């Protein structure tokens, strides 16, 4: 019986170990097996995907530099759902208004996400959906503790207006420039207040911890906004926001974040003079 079984596994993976323990307990030694390397991404090979196509029933249309798109991609990585179909679209060419997008997302926005016949395009909704559909796979993104769970949802939802304020300031800097000085000043002041608020939240976070204790959906939603602020030069004086800078440094090398880092942000070199007082 054991000779008809085939196990592809990775060292150090508790889910793999569970199966191997069960096989031993049931006296099913002699099964075929193959050790794969996570470091070499052999778990994404054709051999694995032909047997375990979990991510292949998913389709993501995304745009580089979009924090909402990044949230979904980080969640997919955290839940070990690599191998999904995806397509990078250009905002500059207005590809997010193409028929391909509008057929799935009538709002013409990115991300546009489909899992089988299920369509969920709002990024936070997609993150919650993935965590709930694949609770036992990958990293747990919603804590069990009621206190941590409440804090996670609070910070996660507060991350939405955080990004909105960054976006409004960026819009004025890019398109309106000097013609709307009063609007630019008002939005910059709002953004400074927002940075100070998150700085105060992070004052109460223990060293090495995240927004709600362990890494959670709160970080999935908020970190892309923080990274946007740093990458686009909204935070120009790190000494003003040392906790935000520390949070950014803590997360920027996390595997799921490094694997999905927006390629567009690598190309940013210039910083606006209008940001220097933020």
Same domain assignment for residues 46 and 63 = no
Distance CA 59, CA 118 (A): 10
For residue 210, is it within any domain? yes
**For every one of its 278 residues, what pLDDT tens digit does the chain have, with 9 covering 90 and above?**
677 899 999 998 888 999 989 989 899 888 999 999 988 878 877 787 767 656 568 999 999 989 999 999 999 999 999 889 999 999 999 999 999 999 999 999 999 999 999 999 999 999 999 999 999 889 999 999 999 999 999 999 999 988 877 766 654 455 555 456 676 677 778 888 888 999 999 998 988 899 999 999 999 999 999 998 887 766 656 678 899 999 999 999 999 999 999 887 655 444 445 455 55
Distance CA 206, CA 208 (A): 6
Same domain assignment for residues 151 and 96 = no
Same domain assignment for residues 32 and 76 = no
Alpha helices for 139-180 (secondary structure H): 146-171
Task: Please tell me whether residue 29 adopts helix, strand or coil conformation.
Answer: coil
Same domain assignment for residues 47 and 59 = no
Provide the domain limits for residue 9: 2-51
Distance CA 50, CA 45 (A): 9
Same domain assignment for residues 160 and 262 = yes
């Amino acid at each position: 019986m054991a000779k008809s079984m085939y196990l592809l596994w990775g060292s150090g993976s508790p889910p793999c170990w569970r199966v191997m323990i069960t096989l031993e307990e049931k006296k099913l030694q002699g099964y075929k097996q193959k050790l794969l390397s996570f470091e070499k991404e052999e778990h994404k090979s054709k051999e694995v995907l032909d047997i375990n196509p979990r991510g292949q029933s998913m389709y993501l249309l995304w745009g580089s530099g979009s924090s909402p798109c990044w949230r979904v991609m980080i969640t997919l990585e955290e839940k070990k759902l690599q191998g999904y179909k995806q397509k990078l679209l250009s905002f500059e060419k207005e590809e997010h208004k193409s028929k391909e997008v509008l057929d799935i997302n009538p709002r013409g926005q990115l991300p546009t996400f489909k899992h089988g016949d299920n369509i969920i395009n709002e990024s936070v909704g997609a993150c919650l959906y993935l965590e709930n559909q694949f609770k036992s796979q990958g990293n747990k993104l919603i804590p069990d503790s009621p206190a941590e769970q409440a804090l996670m949802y609070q910070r996660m939802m507060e991350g939405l207006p955080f990004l909105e304020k960054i976006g409004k300031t960026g819009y004025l800097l890019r398109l309106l420039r000097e013609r709307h000085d009063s609007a630019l000043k008002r939005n910059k002041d709002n953004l400074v207040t927002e940075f100070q608020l998150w700085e105060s939240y992070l004052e109460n976070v223990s060293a090495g911890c995240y927004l709600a204790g362990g890494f959670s959906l709160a970080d999935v939603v908020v970190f892309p906004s923080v990274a946007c602020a740093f990458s686009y030069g909204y935070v120009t004086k790190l000494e003003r926001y040392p906790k935000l800078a520390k949070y950014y440094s803590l997360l920027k090398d996390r595997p799921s974040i490094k694997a999905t880092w927006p390629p567009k942000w690598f190309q940013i070199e210039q910083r606006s003079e209008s940001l220097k007082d933020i």
